[in-house]
Amino acid sequence: MTAFTFHGQSFTALPTGALHWPAQDALLVADLHLGKSERMARRGGALLPPYETQATLARLANDLHSTRAQRLIALGDTFDDDAAATALPQEASATLNQIAAQHETVWITGNHDPQASGLPDLTLSGLTLRHIAAQGPDISGHYHPKITLAGRRLPAFLVGADHLILPAYGAYTGGLDATNPALTALVPKGHAITTGTRTRMVPLASSCPKYAGGHARHARRGQRPPQI
């Protein structure tokens, strides 16, 4: 686990990709993409072992137990699409319902589950929690950031001046390299915190100047950020 501060608030990054916010008694997760294997099979895609949903939920239950967080905040794309929300296996659905019943749960909608019952964003202690980073300071997900360290490509938190971006929490999720222009525009410098068997904070190199402010330019032109 790695403790750090962002805009005056103390956080702990867990090896699983969850973010503990003690002052809010909250555990934050992003991009669970529950039901991805079912969605891919339904749409004629690759057939994946249908165990990722239960594995993700078991990991979530363990993180909630270990941190003793009373509040769960999911930062969007909880489901891989809106249909997946009603197509979960019975065991997974029961686990999710139990987690929600035992914790104060806040669901934020994402681009994969826009019809899910949830909020577009939430502001706590001056930080806006949303799915896709916008006007900071904010905490978000969406991009599934990854960095390459010692030859391994690892999901990672990105911590910049105004944006804190969480890695994807769910299994079977791809990701975007931290050097991608969409991410260097948001976090041109700062730190990455790797996940996996342990967390490790490493500095991010400054982005190429031509990319600085790129996300803001896209927003002014009405262009959408990359869809993950």
Q: Walk along the chain (228 residues) and give the pLDDT tens digit of each residue.
A: 999 999 999 999 999 999 999 999 999 999 998 865 555 544 555 545 556 788 899 999 999 999 999 999 999 998 866 666 776 788 888 999 999 999 999 999 988 676 777 899 999 999 999 999 999 999 999 999 999 988 899 999 999 999 999 999 987 677 999 999 999 999 999 999 999 999 999 999 753 333 333 333 343 344 566 667
How many domains does one find in the chain? 1
In a domain? residue 190:
yes
In a domain? residue 225:
no
Structure tokens at 56: 């993700």
CB 79 within 8 A of CB 107: no
In a domain? residue 46:
yes
Q: What is the CATH number of the domain that holds 87?
A: 3.60.21
In a domain? residue 80:
yes
Crossing angle of helices 90-102 and 52-67, in 10° steps, is: 20
pTM: 0.85
* Residue range of the domain that includes 159: 2-220
In a domain? residue 164:
yes
CB 11 within 8 A of CB 21: yes
In a domain? residue 109:
yes
In a domain? residue 226:
no
In a domain? residue 228:
no
